Amino acid sequence: MFSKHQKQYQIFVVFFNHYRFHCFIVKNDNGLILLKRVAEKFDILTPEYYGFRYQSTCENNQWKWLNLSKSVIHQVKENNSKVLFSIRFADPAPHHIEDLFARHYLYLQSLYMMMVYDYKFSREILEIIYSHILQINYGDYSDDMKYIVQNEFDDALLFKNVLSKYKLLKGNIPVQSELFTLVLFSKHPLYNLQVYESTFDGVPQLLGLNHRGVSVLTDRLDIKYTIPWVLLVEVRVIKDICILTLKNINFSSLRIVQYLSPSIEQLFKEINVDNKKQKSKYIELFFKFKTQPIASDFVTDCIQIYSFYNGYVDTKRNLNK
């Protein structure tokens, strides 16, 4: 990925539209310098929404976020092939995004995540999404177009229903269909979700972070429950253990319950049964990670995401105390 050129390193930044941008950086250049160059190249108005991901060879080629305050070269080794330009903090209300580049890029990234994570939509919503994707990629419907796109569908009934909706989109420009599709993506619980591997009570467990809070998922990426940011008091790491401290809430409070996923009440009940101090103000969840650096990365990401969506977080990592 890197080649020395007059005491500099050449780095390739890959985009979701398969475009590649390369530039030269010196060894001590941090991620913010690289982000600034990309932002200037593409006239990006909100660079604080973006970041870079890379595959860590020492962590089973898992994707992780580049620490923008540290040297790029020290984080991304020479045997890696790319850094991926990504939106880290996605607006939960994409129709509020005025920057057309940001909106278009969020659409491309969400479409990619939809395929990777196999988002589960209702049949009707899926038909609407596919019809808009056809409008974006091919323009207005024509009889000739029917035979071109038919090979993209294995389900004959799905294709028939998508086609009928596609015909109704005549005149829609790509920006309109992208925004409509993006709004549908933003309603999905996996929208812009960052996934991490851990164990909870000795059982392998996937964790997810996004604007909604901390989610616990099954191995099929179904969300078991989501802990909203409003309940998170503190997050800290001890060796390879991440400890989430939560408010021990009263589930009779409708003001709180409206923000919770249905199964989280059972989680709280089970924890309180095992807790000798059943009336304690806080409860704790312990998640074990493969290594201490991975646990630290999760805590750092958790704090940064919380901070972006909820305001400043102090260095003691107290969130809602």
Question: Quick one: pLDDT at residue 219?
Answer: 86
Q: Is the pLDDT of residue 295 over 60?
A: yes
* Per-residue model confidence as pLDDT tens digits over 46-102: 999 999 999 887 777 778 899 999 999 888 875 566 899 999 999 999 999 988 999
What the block records as the tokens of 100 is: 């057309």
- 255 to 30, 216, 258, 264, 282: CA distances (angstroms): 43, 22, 6, 15, 18
Distance CA 247, CA 320 (A): 9
Name which of 172, 261, 173 is nearest 214 in CA terms.
Answer: 261
Question: Quick one: pLDDT at residue 13?
Answer: 95
The domains located in the chain, with CATH, are: 8-87 (3.10.20.90), 94-187 (1.20.80.10), 194-312 (2.30.29.30)
Q: Is the pLDDT of residue 319 over 70?
A: no
Burial 149-165 (b: 16+ CB within 10 A, else e): beeeeeeeeebebbbeb
* Dihedral (Cα; 294, 299, 304, 310), 10-degree rounding: 150
User: Strands, E, within the chain: which ranges?
Assistant: 9-14, 20-25, 50-56, 62-65, 83-87, 194-200, 203-210, 213-217, 223-228, 232-238, 241-247, 282-288
| Percentage of residues in the chain having pLDDT higher than 70 | 84
What the block records as the tokens of 160 is: 């028939």
Residue 178 confidence class, pLDDT cut points 50, 70, 90:
very high
Q: HSE on the CB side for 33, CA within 13 Å?
A: 13
111: enclosing H helix or E strand = helix 100-117
Distance CA 54, CA 140 (A): 38
Question: Quick one: pLDDT at residue 61?
Answer: 76
Helix (H, G, I), strand (E, B) or coil at 245: strand
